């Protein structure tokens, strides 16, 4: 039998060892959310519903976007996101062929948000419930350039069901983007011409609640975010 001293030494060694591995994994990443408040973000003016609930960023589609206080050039962004629920009537989601061309519509229960990777709506990475999956580049799905149009479409729908957390990793290099969603590469070095080489990161407002009619928009951002980390390249 090991002595109490030996056991204590073993426990101490393990405690020292495992944090070291955890630190090495995230040591080059800076946190964009401390789990307590939104001091690292510029909030919308006036009334809004961005808040921290149980250590996550919670939004109920009221007010506007939130924007990082800092702008970024090339980086890797890691985050978790989930839709809490869908609300309102079904939304006519676009259907795409393998080349990114619109071939029809399908009514779906939808929640909608996004991440602007260069500060403007042109740089939006979609988060939604469409059949093509999240990660689609809205500003480029109608491009006349076949390569850009195809690159704007996720190669696979890797979304988890509404209510479950999704893990996303976004790599920006110049005007080129790669998106990995739940371990699957949905965009692979897709081109985003014209989005610029630097800008803040934005979490998108979409939709809202009509208090007069007591109805939700069919594409409201009923969303939560957590574990936001960024590494500048």
Secondary structure string (H, E, C) spanning 46-74 = CCCCCEEECCEEEEECCCCCEEEEEEECC
For 49-71, how does the pLDDT look when each residue is reduced to its tens digit (9 = 90+)?
Answer: 999 999 999 999 999 999 999 99
N-to-C CA span, the chain: 51
Q: What is the CATH topology of the domain spanning 29-232?
A: Jelly Rolls (2.60.120)
Give the CA distances from residue 106 to residues 15, 132, 133, 206, in Å, rounded to whole numbers and listed in that order. 53, 11, 13, 20
Residue-range domain boundaries for the chain: 29-232
For 176-222, how does the pLDDT look when each residue is reduced to its tens digit (9 = 90+)?
Answer: 999 999 999 999 999 999 999 999 999 999 999 998 888 999 899 99
Structure tokens at 155: 């190669």
Q: So what's the pLDDT on residue 125?
A: 98
Distance between CA atoms of residues 145 and 151, nearest Å? 10
Distance between CA atoms of residues 200 and 56, nearest Å? 20
Q: Global pTM?
A: 0.88
């Amino acid at each position: 039998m090991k002595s109490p001293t030996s056991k204590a030494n073993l426990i101490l060694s393990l405690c020292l060892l495992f944090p070291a591995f955890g630190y090495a994994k995230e040591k080059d990443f800076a946190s964009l959310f401390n789990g307590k408040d939104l001091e690292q973000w510029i909030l919308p003016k006036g009334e809004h519903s961005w808040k921290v609930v149980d250590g996550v960023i919670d939004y109920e589609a009221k007010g506007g976007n939130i924007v990082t206080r800092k702008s970024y050039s090339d980086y890797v962004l890691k985050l978790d996101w989930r839709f809490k629920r869908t609300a309102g009537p079904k939304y006519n989601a676009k259907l795409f062929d393998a080349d990114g061309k619109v071939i029809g519509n399908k009514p779906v229960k939808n929640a909608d948000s996004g991440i602007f990777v260069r500060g403007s709506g042109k740089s939006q990475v979609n988060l939604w419930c469409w059949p093509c999956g999240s990660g689609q580049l809205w500003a480029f799905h109608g491009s006349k350039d076949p390569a850009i149009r195809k690159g704007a479409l996720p190669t696979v729908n890797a979304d988890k069901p509404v209510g479950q957390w999704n893990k996303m990793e976004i790599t920006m290099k110049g005007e080129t983007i790669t998106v990995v969603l739940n371990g699957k590469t949905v965009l692979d070095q897709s081109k985003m011409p014209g989005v610029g080489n630097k800008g803040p990161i934005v979490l998108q407002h979409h939709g809202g609640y009509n208090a007069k009619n007591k109805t939700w928009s069919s594409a409201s951002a009923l969303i939560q975010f957590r574990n936001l980390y960024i590494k500048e390249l």
